[in-house]
A and B are shown apart, each in its own frame.
Chain A
Amino acid sequence: MPMFVTRSGLILFVFFLTCFAGLQSVAAKEDSSRELFEQYKSLILQVKILYTASGKKSSIGTGFLVKQGGYIVTNYHVVADLLLKPQQYNAVYITESGKTGQLKVVSVDVVHDLALLKADLDNQAYFEFNPEPIQKGTEVYSLGNPRDLGFVILSGNHGGLVEPSLYEKIHFIGALEPGMSGGPSFTVDGKVVGVNVATAGNLLSFLVPSKHVVKMLEDARSLPQNLLVLAQQQLQANQSTYMSDFIRHPIKTTRLGRYRVPDKLSETFRCWGGDVLSKPKPYQIIEQSCESKDDIFLNEDHSTGTVSYKHLLISSDKLDAFKFYTLFEAKFSRLLMAVEGREEDVTNFSCQEKFVVNHGLHLKVVYCARGYKKFFGLYDVVLKAATVDQKKMGLQTALLLTGVSFQNAQQFAKKYLDSITWQQ
């Protein structure tokens, strides 16, 4: 018994020591955080989007001063409503000291989720940027107004670039909260490395690299009058960059049954799949899916700039050909049925349907497209194809390209379909 007491006492002692050591380091961190907060709190403000009709709050975010004359950077997604429906919304700012005023959107970078705003502030001080890559693990501080509860500072670590990805982001190891979107994340010397943009759960958050902010500030001198036109040009340029890349390079294929089908297009994709072996069912399905890791926020119900595809290998040795094709037809109609978007954003889909023969494969091919109403010249395109030359086996594939030019979609869809072959 005494033995036991001694041992548990020892354990307790060690435990307490650890605690105190922990407390000590936390205290040191808190000191520097407090200092930094005091130093920079006057350079941040809360951005509130209000319904013009009722004056009620629609959404909130954080912004920070980047230039003399009241220029403020925040996220595009914070002010998206204001840009898309200027009659319905207006934006105001509230500083840490309680000063408020109207905000105007001056520029956007819709691809990197950034917006430049102007307030009637006569500021001398503003944040500086560090657009160079910094070492992983460097201490980074983030300012913002989480959930409308008041300004806070929180510290985390620079997790490096999230790679590879279509839309470059910095991994921030810290707990960003909704409402902190658009706030600055900076090193201990006050240089901004990124803009808070998204959170993906506990301690996993993302920043837009500050080089994009620097670029937006530079570009802001020569802008088209209409910001929607600017956003449309950015989306066009962006899709053209990555689509021409996909069109130029050969499509790597993988085996699916006796077919070869498109594999991971590049490292910016994630793929998964598996057998759907439903035991009591007289058929079997093998599935493979891939999608690009990131998307571009346009509004709450519509994001764009994605590439995704899915293959189904369906076979049966129990069903006869008629029954099999009933199953095959049912699966095909459920393959990629809906694509997000609202009536004010996109048109309905229009489709064409034909038999196509390629590499000796007989396919039923459906090609559908819908147009973007606010960003003319951009389309969501769906390609669906099913092989129809086997009695009790078939391959189905569906490709979805969002926010692309018609020509790029057509070229890539053709290449995609052409990469599907049958192995003897």
Chain B
Amino acid sequence: MATIIILEALDKNAKVQHRHFIQSLPYYVGRGYSNDLVLDDDFISPEHIKIDLDVEGNLVTSDMGSTNGLYLFNNSQRVSSTIAKTGTEIRIGHTRLRFRKPDYLVKEALKDSLHDHLLSRVMNKRWLLVLLWVAVLSVIAIDQYIGNFNQYSIAKLLSQLLFDYIVVAVWVAGWVVANRLTTNATNFGAHLFVAGLGYASLVLLDGFSHYISYVFSMAEQRLWLEYGTTLLVISAVFYGHLRYCSLAMPKRVVATAAGVSLSVVSLMWFQDAVDDSFSNTIDLTVRLKPPVFNVVVSDQLSEFFASSATLKEQVDQETTRGRDSK
């Protein structure tokens, strides 16, 4: 026999379960112990198929009079024999078999990005981890400090943040459990870190968006700033968590993270778009910041009021719409 043939038993996802090297022909496959390959499949006959060369030198698989027969994979037509080339898949009983030759080309090895990942490198440096946690806590502390104009006490601050802490803790616990189920490791430190970083970014970006809203007079566009922030933070956080939970390719993780954040933001957008409920309040949160941030050129009084023509159009449109719908 000139070439070695490799026979692979596959599972339903085409993953190889076991692999056999056919060194000599004929080669017998069945449930009986006299076969070259013994398969424990109740739907396979004791002597099921024979693999051998025909007169023209083709590798032929033939049925040896089995109960359930021989099939080409994904074909319901029972055959008595079939020529096997490399890549040919057959089915006997409930077992899927594939032929391969040793010259079959396999793909290059994947780059191990999990262990070479920036996050992993950070996770391995304790001092960096501590430093980042200090940064996270500082951001929260500064936010709380600026946001409180009345008496400031640590106890009050902690109690205000208690709910946030509980949410973060539950979030981390969820990811740890998911991680354990998928890869057998918990990666508790990593998930805690990703969640903490996400929380701090949320606080930071929210604060930042207030300044943007003030500087560029964007109170009307408040929702878009909110969408942008949410999109950014959710995709980053999901990416961070998923990297530890799955062995999937980074591309797939990126896609999942983007998908999750996009659907969350779409849901937010949809909710806001559908909500045209009446309110007799001025639903506009105008931000006010210290004079240092007055960097945009101001209108003159007459300019400001001249631009209110657009406002009139907007209101009149709504008025007529309200009347027409009646």
Q: List A residues at the B interface (Cβ < 8 Å).
A: 280-283, 319, 321-330, 332-333, 336-343, 346-358, 362-373, 376, 379, 382, 384, 386, 388-391, 394, 406, 410, 413-414, 417-418
- Considering only CB atoms, which chain B residue lies closest to A280 in the complex? B151
- Considering only CB atoms, which chain A residue lies closest to B213 in the complex? A353
Within 8 A of A (CB), among B277-326: 278-292, 294, 296-302, 304-305, 307-308, 310-312, 314-316, 318-319, 322-323, 326
Query: B146 in the interface, Cβ–Cβ < 8 Å?
Result: yes
Complex CA gap A337/B302 in Å reads: 25
Within 8 A of A (CB), among B13-57: none
Pull 8 A–B residue pairs with CB atoms less than 8 Å apart, ordered by A: A329-B289, A348-B278, A348-B283, A352-B308, A353-B284, A354-B299, A367-B304, A376-B319
- Selected contact of A327 from candidates B149, B278, B318, CB within 8 Å: B149
Contacts of B288 in A (CB 8 A): 325, 328-329, 332, 364, 386, 388, 394
Complex CA gap A282/B150 in Å reads: 7
Our count of residue pairs bridging A and B at CB distance below 8 angstroms stands at: 167
Query: B220 in the interface, Cβ–Cβ < 8 Å?
Result: yes
> CB distance B280 to A340 under 8 Å?
yes
Q: How would you classify the secondary structure of chain A's contact residues: helix, strand, loop or mixed?
A: mixed
- Considering only CB atoms, which chain A residue lies closest to B322 in the complex? A373
Query: B219 in the interface, Cβ–Cβ < 8 Å?
Result: yes
A323-B285 CB under 8 A given contacts A353-B219, A413-B305: no
Complex CA gap A321/B146 in Å reads: 9
Complex CA gap A394/B150 in Å reads: 18
Query: B102 in the interface, Cβ–Cβ < 8 Å?
Result: no
Q: List B residues at the A interface (Cβ < 8 Å).
A: 145-151, 214, 217, 219-220, 278-292, 294, 296-302, 304-305, 307-308, 310-312, 314-316, 318-319, 322-323, 326
- Considering only CB atoms, which chain B residue lies closest to A301 in the complex? B280
> CB distance A354 to B149 under 8 Å?
no
Complex CA gap A345/B52 in Å reads: 90
> CB distance A389 to B294 under 8 Å?
yes
A333-B294 CB under 8 A given contacts A367-B304, A371-B319: no
> CB distance B280 to A346 under 8 Å?
yes
Contacts of B298 in A (CB 8 A): 354-357, 362-363
Most buried by A among B280, B287, B299, B311: B280
Contacts of A339 in B (CB 8 A): 280-282
Complex CA gap A232/B76 in Å reads: 81
> CB distance B302 to A414 under 8 Å?
yes
- Considering only CB atoms, which chain A residue lies closest to B214 in the complex? A364
Complex CA gap A354/B324 in Å reads: 32
Contacts of A337 in B (CB 8 A): 281-282
Contacts of B315 in A (CB 8 A): 347, 350, 369-371, 379, 406
A353-B217 CB under 8 A given contacts A386-B288, A414-B302: yes
Complex CA gap A357/B314 in Å reads: 25
- Selected contact of B286 from candidates A353, A391, A413, CB within 8 Å: A353
Q: A339-B282, A353-B220, A389-B294 are in contact. List 20 more A-B contacts (CB 8 A).
A: A323-B145, A325-B289, A328-B288, A333-B285, A347-B322, A350-B311, A351-B219, A351-B220, A352-B307, A352-B308, A354-B298, A354-B304, A355-B217, A355-B294, A367-B305, A373-B323, A388-B289, A390-B291, A391-B291, A410-B308
